[in-house]
Protein backbone atom coordinates (compact mmCIF):
# COMPACT_ATOMS: atom_id res chain seq x y z
CA UNK A 1 0.00 0.00 0.00
CA UNK A 2 1.10 3.50 -0.68
CA UNK A 3 2.31 5.77 2.08
CA UNK A 4 3.50 9.31 2.58
CA UNK A 5 6.23 10.40 4.95
CA UNK A 6 6.76 13.93 6.12
CA UNK A 7 9.93 13.69 8.20
CA UNK A 8 9.63 17.08 9.86
CA UNK A 9 6.88 17.44 12.42
CA UNK A 10 7.60 21.10 13.13
CA UNK A 11 9.68 23.68 11.30
CA UNK A 12 10.41 27.23 12.38
CA UNK A 13 11.71 29.83 9.97
CA UNK A 14 12.14 33.57 10.06
CA UNK A 15 9.96 35.75 7.92
CA UNK A 16 11.66 36.34 4.60
CA UNK A 17 13.71 33.17 4.79
CA UNK A 18 13.38 30.35 2.30
CA UNK A 19 11.40 27.23 3.08
CA UNK A 20 11.53 23.60 2.08
CA UNK A 21 9.11 21.03 3.44
CA UNK A 22 9.99 17.42 2.73
CA UNK A 23 7.70 14.71 1.48
CA UNK A 24 8.55 11.16 0.49
CA UNK A 25 6.06 8.70 -0.91
CA UNK A 26 5.77 5.03 -1.58
CA UNK A 27 3.83 4.24 -4.72
CA UNK A 28 3.89 1.55 -7.38
CA UNK A 29 3.28 3.61 -10.49
CA UNK A 30 3.35 7.27 -11.42
CA UNK A 31 1.80 8.98 -8.43
CA UNK A 32 -0.68 11.77 -8.22
CA UNK A 33 0.83 14.09 -5.60
CA UNK A 34 -0.62 16.99 -3.70
CA UNK A 35 0.27 19.59 -1.12
CA UNK A 36 -2.47 21.02 1.06
CA UNK A 37 -2.35 23.75 3.68
CA UNK A 38 -4.54 23.90 6.76
CA UNK A 39 -4.90 26.96 8.95
CA UNK A 40 -5.99 26.39 12.56
CA UNK A 41 -9.54 25.11 12.79
CA UNK A 42 -10.00 25.21 9.04
CA UNK A 43 -10.37 22.76 6.20
CA UNK A 44 -7.66 22.03 3.67
CA UNK A 45 -6.71 24.24 0.77
CA UNK A 46 -4.92 22.84 -2.25
CA UNK A 47 -1.56 24.50 -2.84
CA UNK A 48 -0.47 22.52 -5.88
CA UNK A 49 -0.62 19.14 -7.53
CA UNK A 50 1.44 16.92 -9.80
CA UNK A 51 -0.08 14.46 -12.21
CA UNK A 52 2.41 14.29 -15.07
CA UNK A 53 4.62 16.43 -17.27
CA UNK A 54 6.92 19.12 -15.94
CA UNK A 55 8.33 17.94 -12.65
CA UNK A 56 8.48 21.44 -11.21
CA UNK A 57 4.97 22.61 -10.45
CA UNK A 58 3.87 26.03 -9.43
CA UNK A 59 1.11 26.60 -6.95
CA UNK A 60 -0.74 29.34 -5.21
CA UNK A 61 0.74 31.78 -2.71
CA UNK A 62 4.19 31.56 -4.29
CA UNK A 63 4.74 27.88 -3.50
CA UNK A 64 6.34 25.36 -5.82
CA UNK A 65 7.18 21.68 -5.56
CA UNK A 66 9.48 19.39 -7.47
CA UNK A 67 8.72 15.77 -8.25
CA UNK A 68 11.83 13.60 -8.15
CA UNK A 69 11.06 10.04 -9.10
CA UNK A 70 14.57 8.79 -8.28
CA UNK A 71 14.20 10.02 -4.72
CA UNK A 72 10.47 9.34 -4.38
CA UNK A 73 10.14 12.89 -3.18
CA UNK A 74 7.83 15.83 -3.72
CA UNK A 75 9.28 18.64 -1.62
CA UNK A 76 7.47 21.93 -1.21
CA UNK A 77 9.43 25.17 -1.46
CA UNK A 78 8.94 28.87 -1.13
CA UNK A 79 11.75 31.39 -1.63
CA UNK A 80 10.55 33.93 0.93
CA UNK A 81 8.15 33.04 3.71
CA UNK A 82 5.49 35.43 4.97
CA UNK A 83 4.02 35.43 8.47
CA UNK A 84 0.70 34.41 6.98
CA UNK A 85 2.24 31.14 5.79
CA UNK A 86 2.23 29.80 9.34
CA UNK A 87 -0.01 26.74 9.16
CA UNK A 88 -0.02 22.97 8.91
CA UNK A 89 1.10 21.50 5.60
CA UNK A 90 0.05 18.08 4.35
CA UNK A 91 1.49 16.08 1.51
CA UNK A 92 -0.83 13.52 -0.06
CA UNK A 93 -0.76 10.84 -2.74
CA UNK A 94 -3.63 9.44 -4.77
CA UNK A 95 -4.68 5.88 -4.03
CA UNK A 96 -3.14 3.57 -6.62
CA UNK A 97 -6.27 1.45 -6.53
CA UNK A 98 -8.08 4.12 -8.50
CA UNK A 99 -10.64 4.94 -5.85
CA UNK A 100 -9.87 8.67 -5.74
CA UNK A 101 -8.92 8.31 -2.11
CA UNK A 102 -5.99 10.29 -0.83
CA UNK A 103 -3.34 9.08 1.58
CA UNK A 104 -1.99 11.87 3.74
CA UNK A 105 1.28 12.36 5.48
CA UNK A 106 1.23 13.30 9.15
CA UNK A 107 1.80 16.94 8.38
CA UNK A 108 4.43 19.57 9.10
CA UNK A 109 3.60 22.52 11.27
CA UNK A 110 5.24 25.71 10.10
CA UNK A 111 5.97 28.51 12.54
CA UNK A 112 7.15 31.85 11.17
CA UNK A 113 9.14 34.14 13.43
CA UNK A 114 9.02 37.89 12.84
CA UNK B 1 -13.59 27.36 -7.81
CA UNK B 2 -15.61 24.51 -6.43
CA UNK B 3 -16.85 24.96 -2.91
CA UNK B 4 -17.79 22.44 -0.28
CA UNK B 5 -19.64 23.56 2.81
CA UNK B 6 -20.19 21.89 6.14
CA UNK B 7 -22.78 22.54 8.77
CA UNK B 8 -22.50 23.09 11.63
CA UNK B 9 -18.99 24.43 12.02
CA UNK B 10 -19.06 23.69 15.72
CA UNK B 11 -21.34 21.54 17.82
CA UNK B 12 -21.41 20.57 21.46
CA UNK B 13 -23.58 17.67 22.49
CA UNK B 14 -24.14 15.61 25.57
CA UNK B 15 -22.89 12.08 25.89
CA UNK B 16 -25.39 9.58 24.58
CA UNK B 17 -27.03 11.90 22.08
CA UNK B 18 -26.65 11.86 18.31
CA UNK B 19 -25.42 14.65 16.11
CA UNK B 20 -25.69 15.13 12.37
CA UNK B 21 -23.11 16.88 10.22
CA UNK B 22 -23.96 17.98 6.69
CA UNK B 23 -21.60 18.25 3.76
CA UNK B 24 -22.72 20.02 0.61
CA UNK B 25 -21.11 20.59 -2.74
CA UNK B 26 -22.27 24.06 -3.71
CA UNK B 27 -21.57 24.35 -7.41
CA UNK B 28 -20.96 20.86 -8.64
CA UNK B 29 -22.42 17.40 -8.30
CA UNK B 30 -20.61 14.80 -6.27
CA UNK B 31 -21.52 11.16 -6.58
CA UNK B 32 -18.82 10.43 -4.04
CA UNK B 33 -17.80 12.26 -0.91
CA UNK B 34 -15.21 11.39 1.68
CA UNK B 35 -15.41 11.78 5.44
CA UNK B 36 -12.28 12.30 7.47
CA UNK B 37 -11.56 12.57 11.14
CA UNK B 38 -8.68 14.61 12.45
CA UNK B 39 -7.36 14.31 15.96
CA UNK B 40 -5.52 17.26 17.50
CA UNK B 41 -2.15 17.86 15.88
CA UNK B 42 -2.55 14.79 13.70
CA UNK B 43 -3.23 13.98 10.11
CA UNK B 44 -6.54 13.25 8.47
CA UNK B 45 -7.85 9.74 8.85
CA UNK B 46 -10.26 8.59 6.18
CA UNK B 47 -13.36 7.20 7.82
CA UNK B 48 -15.59 6.33 4.91
CA UNK B 49 -16.55 6.94 1.32
CA UNK B 50 -20.07 8.20 0.84
CA UNK B 51 -21.75 7.01 -2.36
CA UNK B 52 -24.85 8.63 -3.79
CA UNK B 53 -27.60 6.08 -4.13
CA UNK B 54 -25.78 3.26 -2.38
CA UNK B 55 -24.24 2.30 0.93
CA UNK B 56 -21.18 4.00 2.24
CA UNK B 57 -17.87 2.18 2.23
CA UNK B 58 -16.16 2.27 5.60
CA UNK B 59 -12.46 2.04 6.28
CA UNK B 60 -11.14 -0.73 8.45
CA UNK B 61 -11.76 -0.13 12.12
CA UNK B 62 -14.54 2.44 11.65
CA UNK B 63 -17.85 1.44 13.23
CA UNK B 64 -20.52 1.82 10.59
CA UNK B 65 -23.33 1.62 13.13
CA UNK B 66 -21.83 4.47 15.08
CA UNK B 67 -20.99 6.71 12.17
CA UNK B 68 -24.01 6.65 9.90
CA UNK B 69 -23.52 8.10 6.45
CA UNK B 70 -26.28 8.99 4.05
CA UNK B 71 -25.68 10.43 0.59
CA UNK B 72 -29.16 11.71 -0.10
CA UNK B 73 -28.50 13.61 -3.29
CA UNK B 74 -25.73 14.57 -5.68
CA UNK B 75 -24.90 17.58 -3.52
CA UNK B 76 -25.48 16.38 0.04
CA UNK B 77 -23.89 13.81 2.31
CA UNK B 78 -24.54 13.56 6.03
CA UNK B 79 -22.56 11.98 8.82
CA UNK B 80 -24.47 11.12 11.99
CA UNK B 81 -22.50 10.29 15.09
CA UNK B 82 -24.84 8.10 17.10
CA UNK B 83 -24.76 7.75 20.87
CA UNK B 84 -21.81 10.09 21.01
CA UNK B 85 -19.19 9.76 23.71
CA UNK B 86 -16.34 12.07 24.72
CA UNK B 87 -13.87 9.98 22.73
CA UNK B 88 -15.84 10.90 19.59
CA UNK B 89 -14.85 14.52 20.08
CA UNK B 90 -12.82 15.47 17.07
CA UNK B 91 -12.61 17.59 13.94
CA UNK B 92 -14.61 16.06 11.11
CA UNK B 93 -13.88 17.09 7.54
CA UNK B 94 -15.65 16.10 4.36
CA UNK B 95 -14.39 16.35 0.82
CA UNK B 96 -15.72 15.87 -2.67
CA UNK B 97 -13.57 14.68 -5.57
CA UNK B 98 -13.87 16.53 -8.82
CA UNK B 99 -12.04 14.00 -10.96
CA UNK B 100 -8.47 12.78 -11.28
CA UNK B 101 -8.00 12.54 -7.53
CA UNK B 102 -8.39 16.25 -6.87
CA UNK B 103 -10.63 16.87 -3.88
CA UNK B 104 -12.27 19.95 -2.48
CA UNK B 105 -12.48 20.02 1.27
CA UNK B 106 -15.11 21.44 3.53
CA UNK B 107 -14.12 23.78 6.35
CA UNK B 108 -14.62 21.10 8.97
CA UNK B 109 -16.89 20.55 11.96
CA UNK B 110 -15.58 20.66 15.50
CA UNK B 111 -17.52 18.16 17.61
CA UNK B 112 -17.27 18.28 21.37
CA UNK B 113 -19.07 15.66 23.42
CA UNK B 114 -19.51 16.50 27.07
List, for residues B54-90, the tens digit of each pLDDT value: 999 999 999 999 999 999 899 999 999 999 999 999 9
pLDDT band at B17 (very low <50, low <70, confident <90, very high): very high
Q: Which chain A residues contact residue B100 at CB under 8 A?
A: 32, 51
Task: Classify the phi-psi angles of B98: left when phi > 0, otherwise alpha if psi is within -120 to 50, otherwise beta.
Answer: alpha
pLDDT at residue B43 in the model: 85
A4 three-class SS? strand
Q: What is the pLDDT of residue B2?
A: 62
Q: What is the pLDDT of residue A101?
A: 86
Q: Is A104 on the interface with B (CB under 8 A)?
A: yes
Name which of A1, A30, A44, A92 to mutate to probe chain B: the one with the most chain B Cβ atoms within 10 A of its Cβ: A44
- What's chain A's average pLDDT? 92
At A98, phi and psi to the nearest 5?
85, 20
The predicted model gives B90-107 an average pLDDT of 88
Give the nearest chain B residue to A42 (CA atoms): B107
Query: What average pLDDT is seen over chain B?
Result: 92
Closest residue in A to B90 (Cα–Cα): A41
- B52 versus B1: the higher-pLDDT residue is B52
- pLDDT (tens digit per residue) in A29-51: 778 999 999 988 788 999 999 98
Q: Which residues of B touch A51 (CB under 8 A)?
A: 100-101
Task: Kindly list the distances between the CA atom of residue B15 and the CA atoms of A52, B20, B110, in Å, as whole numbers in the listed order.
Answer: 48, 14, 15
Please tell me the distance in Å from B62's CA to the nearest CA on chain A. Answer: 16
Give SS3 for B53.
Answer: coil
On the question of pLDDT at A14 being above 80, the answer is: yes
Beta carbons of B93 and A101 less than 8 Å apart: no
Mention every residue, 6+ apart, whose C-beta is less than 8 A from residue A77: A18, A19, A20, A21, A63, A64, A65, A66
Residues of A in contact with B103 (CB under 8 A): 100, 102
Residue A66, CA distances (Å) to A23, A28, A29, A108, B61 in order: 10, 19, 17, 17, 35
The least confident of A21-30, A52-61, B44-53 is: A21-30
Q: Tell if the CB–CB gap between B101 and A109 is shorter than 8 Å.
A: no
CB of B37 within 8 Å of a chain A CB? The answer is: no
Amino acid sequence: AQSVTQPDIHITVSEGASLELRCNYSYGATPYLFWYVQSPGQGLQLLLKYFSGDTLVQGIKGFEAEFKRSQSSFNLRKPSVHWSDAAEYFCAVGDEGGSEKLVFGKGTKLTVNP
Amino acid sequence: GAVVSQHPSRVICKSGTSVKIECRSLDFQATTMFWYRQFPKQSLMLMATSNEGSKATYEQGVEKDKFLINHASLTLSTLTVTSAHPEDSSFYICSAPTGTYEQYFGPGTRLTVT
